[in-house]
Amino acid sequence: MKSKSLLLSLLLGLAVLAMAPLAPVLAESAAEPPAEELSWDALVPEDFNPEGLFEKYDLDQMEDNDPRAEEFMRELKAVWKIAPVVEELAGKRVKMPGFVVPLETQGDEVSSFFLVPYFGACIHVPPPPANQMVHVRLPQGAGLAADNLYEAVWVIGRLSIERTSNELGAAGYSMDDAQVEPYEED
């Protein structure tokens, strides 16, 4: 009886030792919930409606160099820079499609970028509203190849409410240590 008990104890001990290297992987996968696929519309509060600004100006009747058009652009940029966010999204692990607007590079890789809903955003004026831009920071050593910037991507990570702005635009959200995958429709 004693030898059976000793044998079982030894086998159990060996099993625990064999599984020990997997413990961090198992703990991480158990702790991290699956990412919720999020549409760009979900980032906009229901009560946010900048349409009134467009109605205030008769844009169809203006030329590009019209002083009223310039006033409209200044006002639009100011409103979009402070566009409200959906606070309930803070801390959620999400998966979002979009396009990359590079902010920081390390060698030939992009380490930080704005994720935007359409190609050419921030290059054309005006940039999207802050609630339609996410400042994404990739983990050290996990940069995005700079030659793949014209393709849509999926970005997976934990969404934070954080305002970031530079000459390209203003983001109302951010993701740190995000993961980037090529975009493929599910």
Q: What CATH number is associated with residue 110?
A: 2.40.50.870
CB contact at 8 A, 95 and 159: no
Q: What is the pLDDT of residue 2?
A: 53
Q: Name the DSSP class of 103.
A: E
What mean pLDDT is predicted for residues 134-150?
83
What mean pLDDT is predicted for residues 167-178?
94
pLDDT: which is higher, 85 or 13:
85
pLDDT greater than 70 at residue 120: yes
The confidence band for 186, taking pLDDT boundaries of 50, 70 and 90, is: low
Q: CA angle, 54 as apex, 48 and 55 as ends, to 5°?
A: 105
What mean pLDDT is predicted for residues 133-154?
85
**Residue 144, domain member (yes or no):** yes
Tell me the CA end-to-end span of the chain in Å, nearest whole number. Answer: 57
Please state, in angstroms and rounded to a whole number, the distance separating the CA atoms of residues 176 and 153.
16
**Residue 113, domain member (yes or no):** yes
**Residue 23, domain member (yes or no):** no
Q: What is the pLDDT of residue 122?
A: 73
pLDDT: which is higher, 159 or 145:
159
**Residue 10, domain member (yes or no):** no
The confidence band for 66, taking pLDDT boundaries of 50, 70 and 90, is: confident
**Residue 106, domain member (yes or no):** yes
Q: What is the pLDDT of residue 11?
A: 41
Which residue do the tokens 């004026």 mark? Answer: 125
The confidence band for 108, taking pLDDT boundaries of 50, 70 and 90, is: confident
What mean pLDDT is predicted for residues 170-178?
95
Split into its structural domains, the chain has a count of 1
CB contact at 8 A, 80 and 128: yes
C-alpha pair distances (Å), 135 with each of 52, 96, 168, 173, 184: 27, 12, 12, 6, 22
Percent of the chain with pLDDT over 70: 82
pLDDT greater than 90 at residue 69: no
The verdict on whether omega for the bond into residue 126 sits within 30 degrees of 0, i.e. cis, is: yes
The confidence band for 142, taking pLDDT boundaries of 50, 70 and 90, is: confident
Domain region containing 121:
39-182
**Residue 1, domain member (yes or no):** no
Q: What is the pLDDT of residue 144?
A: 75
Q: Name the DSSP class of 133.
A: -
pLDDT greater than 70 at residue 4: no
**Residue 114, domain member (yes or no):** yes
The pLDDT tens digits for 19-28 are 445 445 444 5
**Residue 171, domain member (yes or no):** yes
